[in-house]
Amino acid sequence: MSIRRVYETTIIINAALEDPDIDAAINKIASFLENHGGVIEETNKWGRRRLAYPINKKFNGYYVHLVYDVQPNVIPPFERFLVLEDKILRHLTLQLEPEMREYRKEKSLAEGKSGETIISSAEEAERVVTAPSFGGYNRSAAKTGNDNAIAGEDIGFSEEETVAINDDEITNENNVVD
């Protein structure tokens, strides 16, 4: 008998589905894991969010994050199940290392949360999941709709290059990218 490991899976479900259909899809995923000997430790429903790029001509997705304990030989059939399920747009499964679990527990306790994390609103998911910084680019300027030129040091360019950020194009003095 192999040892059990802790995994985390983030799933994007088609947001065009009604709420009962989304809950049914989540329950189907959870029952698959439980039927194969898994124990679900956390279910975080992050809610409907806009996708960074279209997936199967869909622009919105319903994000769900699962943390579960299961034997490693269950993961390949589980991923096959997720690929074949037509309601699921994308998924990502990672093995959760004990150090990361300990770090997350300490962080949640420091923030005054209990050990179990259940995220139900999009605002909470926005705080928990932060986008990576690309070359020092300050995403808060883009979120506020500031279309003015941003100083080079904010986005990792030299001072001679000034970058103007619009919804449609990014330009600098050397080239234009549409």
Going by the DSSP 8-state scheme, the letter that residue 167 receives in this structure is S
Q: pLDDT band for position 31 (50/70/90)? A: very high
Q: pLDDT band for position 10 (50/70/90)? A: very high
Cα(9)–Cα(6) distance, integer angstroms: 10
Tokens representing 136 are 């020092």
Residue pair 45/27 in contact (Cβ under 8 Å)? The answer is: no
CB burial readout 157-177, b (16+ within 10 A) else e: beeeeebebeeeeeebeeeee
Q: What is the phi/psi pair of residue 2, to 5°?
A: -80, 165
Tokens representing 98 are 């004990």
Q: What is the pLDDT of residue 159?
A: 42
Per residue in 67-120, pLDDT tens? 999 999 999 999 999 999 999 999 999 998 988 888 988 888 888 765 444 444
Predicted confidence (pLDDT) at residue 57 exceeds the cutoff of 60: yes
Q: What is the pLDDT of residue 171?
A: 45
Cα(141)–Cα(64) distance, integer angstroms: 28
Tokens representing 1 are 């008998």
Domains present along the chain, CATH in parentheses: 5-128 (3.30.70.60), 139-177 (no CATH)
Tokens representing 119 are 């995220």
Q: pTM for the whole thing?
A: 0.61
Q: What is the pLDDT of residue 156?
A: 46
Residue pair 58/15 in contact (Cβ under 8 Å)? The answer is: yes
All residues at 6 or more sequence positions from 7 whose CB lies less than 8 Å from its CB, including other chains? 67, 68, 69, 70, 75, 93, 94, 95, 96
